[in-house]
Amino acid sequence: MRSSRLTAAVVGSLLVVSGALVAAAQPAGAHGRDGLSLPARLLGRQALPARDGWAAAGPGTSGGAAATPDQVHVVRTRTELVHALGGDNATNRQNTTPKIIFVRGLVDGFEAADGRLLDCADLADPEYSLDAYLAAYDPASWGRVAPAGPLEQARVRSVANQTRQTQINVGSNTTIVGLRGATLSGLTLMVDTADNVIVRNLTLSDARDCFPAWSPTDGDAGNWNSQFDLMSVRRSENVWVDHNTFTDGDNPDSGLPVHFGRPYTVHDGSLDITHTASRVTASYNRFVARDKVMLIGSSNTVGPDVGRLDVTLHHNLFDGTMQRLPRVRFGRVEIYNNAYRLAGAEFGYAIGVGVQSAVYAEHNHFTLGTGITAADLLYDWSGTAITERGNWVREGRGPARLVSLLAAYNAEHEPDLGGDVGWTPTLRSGPVLPAPLVPLVVQALAGADRLPV
Ligand code: CA
Ligand code: CA
């Protein structure tokens, strides 16, 4: 019984990547005039498999699969990327023409049209400087009230300058695929008011905010807040985010300076899904060490987000990340077969149970460093319940074992969370692996540069 179930699970994991295996079986060296291998071209045309999570709901997710030959692009620069997305970053989100965009090499969001790399000073408003900002809004003299006045206005203008430069807007019916080693650095992929989008096999690195805002009443001691995610999904449906690596590169949160006694945070989310977005599947991604990883729903307001924010997370690796893995409001969010490796004094929590959230978490595997226990994995952000089953936890040097995350949480916290969120996931394209197999499969298969291109 046990071995047949194991065999079925392993076969199932292969089926999950069967598209990749079919592509790999094609003859090597069959490159077209565009320099793309046959496996790459097949991958560019691939749609989300039927029933593969929430992004398979409704019309499903095919991205740019229907692109005509003139809408298949290979880009090496920010300028080429913007051109492939429609030509004008200010209006590209309205470009619904099916398009497949292959990224080759390093594309830097700070790259100017002439190829020069801009820095934060180039994007700053003439009236803004960090030194002036720190002098003006020090809580010791300014008080614990929000920054206001000409200097804050100059900061806001600076952010607008940066947004035009480093936020790359994506329209509907788009597939973006990284060729081997492809990296988007210092930029935000913004999927806003854009349905049917696929993003695969990319390393997204260090989307940094040049002009963080001081929020004196955020938390007990205030916080610096940044607004650039590596990828944002807003007001969009049917989005598939697959086999990507999200990282801060050589600019980790841990190396940031401290101002006003708080870390001068220049990063926001890795993959934030907010503002009524829904039907998103994030599969086989690797989220590397950083503070905030995934926010699903950004406001407690009971309004347009109700009935939205449905997201599936499967076979992702959360490696050394500290909080929001994910943090959920409103959505029906299924979290299965993900591997978590969590350690360090900065660790906050894994799954945030927020307002009207309905998280269904099963068959995930958590490896916890010293000082972190199963009771630390959930956090109650004004939620009421989470359904969880079949999750395994390894604490420190102890053995991995089946643990009820809910029972562990409730034993140490008040009020208790309930155990029934009132829905059961049905959109699964392959079998669910038993949790003990998950670290092996996810370690081998999650992240960029695992798909054959
Ligand atoms: Ca964000
Ligand atoms: Ca309790």
Beta strands in 104-244 (DSSP E): 106-108, 167-170, 174-178, 183-185, 188-192, 197-200, 203-205, 213-215, 223-225, 231-234, 237-242
327, 353 contact by CB (below 8 A): no
Q: At CA 224, angle to CA 222 and CA 229, rounded to 5?
A: 140
Q: Is 200 a catalytic residue?
A: no
Spell out the long-range contacts of 36-42 with Cβ–Cβ below 8 A and sequence spacing 24 or more: 36/72, 36/74, 36/102, 36/179, 37/453, 39/452, 39/453, 40/102, 40/177, 40/179, 40/453, 41/72
The values of phi and psi at residue 352, to 5°, are: -95, 120
Ligand found nearest the CA of 409: 2
Ligand found nearest the CA of 412: 2
Look at the alpha carbons of 305, 307, 308, 312 in this order and tell me if their dihedral is positive or negative. Answer: positive
Ligand found nearest the CA of 410: 2
**Of 29, 64, 71, residue with least CA distance to 43:** 64
CA dihedral 329→331→333→339, nearest 10 degrees, is -30
Domain range summary for the chain, segments of one domain joined by +: 2-118+167-445
378, 409 contact by CB (below 8 A): yes
In angstroms, what is the span from residue 366 Cα to ligand 2's centroid? 22
Architecture of the CATH domain 2-118+167-445 = 3 Solenoid (2.160)
330, 357 contact by CB (below 8 A): yes
In angstroms, what is the span from residue 412 Cα to ligand 2's centroid? 5
- Residue 418 is classified by DSSP as B
Return the residue matching tokens 């700070």.
Answer: 110
In angstroms, what is the span from residue 413 Cα to ligand 2's centroid? 4
User: How confident is the prediction along the chain (453 residues), in pLDDT tens digits per residue?
Assistant: 344 454 444 444 444 444 444 444 444 445 666 789 999 999 999 999 999 999 999 999 999 999 999 999 999 999 999 999 999 999 999 999 999 999 999 999 999 999 999 999 999 999 999 999 999 999 999 999 999 999 999 999 999 999 999 999 999 999 999 999 999 999 999 999 999 999 999 999 999 999 999 999 999 999 999 999 999 999 999 999 999 999 999 998 888 899 999 999 999 999 999 999 999 999 999 999 888 999 999 999 999 999 999 999 999 999 998 999 999 999 999 999 999 999 988 899 999 999 999 999 999 999 999 999 999 999 999 999 999 999 999 999 999 999 999 999 999 999 999 999 999 999 999 999 999 999 999 999 999 999 988
- The whole-number pLDDT of residue 30 equals 56
Starting at the earlier edge strand, list the strands of the sheet with 311-314: 72-75, 99-103, 174-178, 197-200, 237-242, 278-283, 311-314, 332-336, 358-362, 386-389
The values of phi and psi at residue 170, to 5°, are: -115, 135
In angstroms, what is the span from residue 279 Cα to ligand 2's centroid? 33
Q: Report the SS3 class of residue 211.
A: coil
Return the residue matching tokens 């963080």.
Answer: 212
In angstroms, what is the span from residue 410 Cα to ligand 2's centroid? 4
Catalytic option among 78, 290, 324, 428: 324
266, 226 contact by CB (below 8 A): yes
Residue 342: CB atoms within 10 A of its CB come to 21
- Residue 380 is classified by DSSP as E
